[in-house]
Structure formats: structure tokens, C-alpha cells
């Protein structure tokens, strides 16, 4: 089980994300990729998943950006590693000095096979979401919802990059050991919206909660698995 340390990180996760978020194509704040202005972030929620090997920290962090006229909530799946991840340079958000563990390499989890594998395990009911800020405490507010024929067993990520849409990052996945099987799409929500995913081809989704600036508690799809013929991208609340 992951151990949550009560310590400092320099720079903080929010400081790293404030500089990184505006460089993303799905960022909706002021400036955007051309100007790379810093986001104005506040914590909005999140959860964790344990790495069975105990080597990689996995966190799904919800933040609200107030830099634009209307606050926007984003989901950023993060991994924390004690050494660089080979081949994942495009997903590196930055490094930070952890008060207990030393230098941590922090990645956008869409580029980290450990996070993707554990998210697929969560969708398949093989692991459970954990509280964001407590060690060894399940988070019952995170709902895994099978849809249609359900989530196939033993899914793995297919070769290829992570494709960003206007509000999500989409990955190709499929049954382990069956490279010729038709691919499925795993969408990681980036721009959070209330409500479950809808539309054709749904096989499963993960719903989680976050807090709006006015204190309202919202819930929406944070990860969606579909047949490849279904619509790509995040579609919570649509």
C-alpha cells in the first residue's frame, strides 16, 4: 500500500501544474499554449490508486483554474517516480524535492504504463480507489460503473502515443496477448463536467467527485472505456 508522507515538496505540485497546464491543447484558461501564462490553481479533489509493486505513486488530482473569466476544473493523472521513466520525456511535468523521498520525477500519467495499467484494473474491478490524503484508506466515493457488455479482462495499452482532444486524452487498449483484436479506447477526462459519460460503445467508466468554487460537490466521469467505434473524448454530463 502507498504511504502518504506529511512533508513538503519543492516546488509544490500546484506550482508545477500552474506552469504546465497552459501548454496543453485542452487548456481553456487565458492565454493558452501560445502565451503560456500561469494558471491560478486551487485544490478541488482527487483520489489515488496503489501500485502493486510499491514503486510508483499514482494520483488523480482535480484542480480548479481561476485565471479566466469562468473557473474551469481539470483532472490531471500524475505519477511520482524515484528515477526518470525511459521513453516518457513528453510526459514529464517536472521534478520536485520531496522532504522524505528526495528527488521525484512527476509525469502526466497518460504517458506512464503503471498508471494506465492500474486504471484498467480499476475499471475491471481488480483494484480499488484510495483516499487522496490518507494511507491505506479506500475512497468509497469513487464509482466504477460497468456498461453494456462490460470491461474485458486483462486489458493492456496498445503501442502508440496519447492523443489529446479538446477535453480528454485518448489511448488505445486491447486484450493482453491478442494484438490482432479490435482496439478499444480509454479516455482520460481533462476538463471535468458533472454527470456520467453517455453515447454508443460504452464498456465502463469511473466517476469521481470534486468541489466547485462555491462549495458544491460535483461528480462526473474521469475515465471512460469504449469500443473503438464509439465517440472519443471526454463526455461527462453530455
Positive or negative CA dihedral for 136, 137, 141, 143? positive
Cα–Cα nearest to 225, from 127, 118, 123, 77: 123
Task: Say if 124 falls within a structural domain.
Answer: no
Could you tell me if 156 and 216 lie in one domain?
yes
In this model, does residue 237 exceed pLDDT 50?
Answer: no
Number of domains in the chain: 2
Could you tell me if 108 and 152 lie in one domain?
no
Residues 193, 191: Cα–Cα separation, whole Å: 7
Q: What local confidence, expressed as pLDDT, does residue 208 receive?
A: 98
pTM of the model: 0.90
Could you tell me if 57 and 143 lie in one domain?
no
Residue ending a domain, choose from 90, 115, 140: 115
Q: What local confidence, expressed as pLDDT, does residue 32 receive?
A: 47
Q: Which domain holds residue 66?
A: 9-115
Q: Which residues pair with 191 in a beta bridge?
A: 74
Strands (E), 71-165: 72-81, 92-98, 102-108, 143-146, 155-157, 163-164
Residue 231 pLDDT grade (very low, low, confident, very high; cuts 50, 70, 90): low
Q: Which three cell numbers stand for residue 123?
A: 475499471
Q: Which three cell numbers stand for residue 223?
A: 475515465
With residue 186 as reference, give the H or E element that holds it. strand 184-189
Mean pLDDT along residues 47-64: 96
Average pLDDT score over the chain = 89
Give pLDDT tens digits for 132-162: 988 789 999 999 999 999 999 889 999 887 8
Residue ending a domain, choose from 59, 89, 115: 115
In this model, does residue 77 exceed pLDDT 50?
Answer: yes
Amino acid at each position: 500500500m502507498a504511504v502518504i508522507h506529511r512533508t513538503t515538496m519543492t516546488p509544490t505540485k500546484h506550482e508545477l501544474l500552474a506552469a504546465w497546464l497552459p501548454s496543453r491543447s485542452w487548456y481553456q484558461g487565458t492565454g493558452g499554449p501560445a502565451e503560456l501564462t500561469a494558471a491560478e490553481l486551487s485544490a478541488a479533489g482527487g483520489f489515488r490508486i496503489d501500485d502493486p509493486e510499491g514503486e510508483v505513486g499514482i494520483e488523480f488530482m482535480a484542480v480548479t483554474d481561476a485565471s479566466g473569466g469562468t473557473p474551469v476544473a481539470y483532472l490531471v493523472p500524475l505519477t511520482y517516480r524515484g528515477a526518470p521513466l525511459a521513453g516518457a520525456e513528453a510526459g514529464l511535468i517536472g521534478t520536485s524535492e520531496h522532504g522524505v523521498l528526495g528527488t521525484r520525477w512527476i509525469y502526466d500519467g497518460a504517458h506512464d504504463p503503471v498508471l494506465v495499467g492500474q486504471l484498467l484494473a480499476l475499471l475491471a474491478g481488480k483494484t480499488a480507489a484510495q483516499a487522496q490524503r490518507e494511507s491505506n484508506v479506500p475512497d468509497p466515493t469513487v464509482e466504477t460503473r460497468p456498461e453494456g457488455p462490460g470491461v474485458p479482462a486483462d486489458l493492456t495499452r496498445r503501442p502508440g502515443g496519447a492523443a489529446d482532444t479538446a477535453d480528454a486524452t485518448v489511448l488505445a487498449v486491447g486484450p493482453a496477448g491478442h494484438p490482432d483484436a479490435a482496439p478499444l479506447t480509454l479516455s482520460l477526462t481533462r476538463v471535468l463536467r458533472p454527470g456520467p459519460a453517455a453515447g454508443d460503445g460504452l464498456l465502463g467508466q469511473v466517476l469521481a467527485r470534486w468541489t466547485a468554487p462555491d462549495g458544491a460537490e460535483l461528480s462526473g466521469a474521469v475515465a471512460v472505456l469504449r469500443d473503438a467505434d464509439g465517440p472519443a473524448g471526454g463526455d461527462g454530463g453530455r
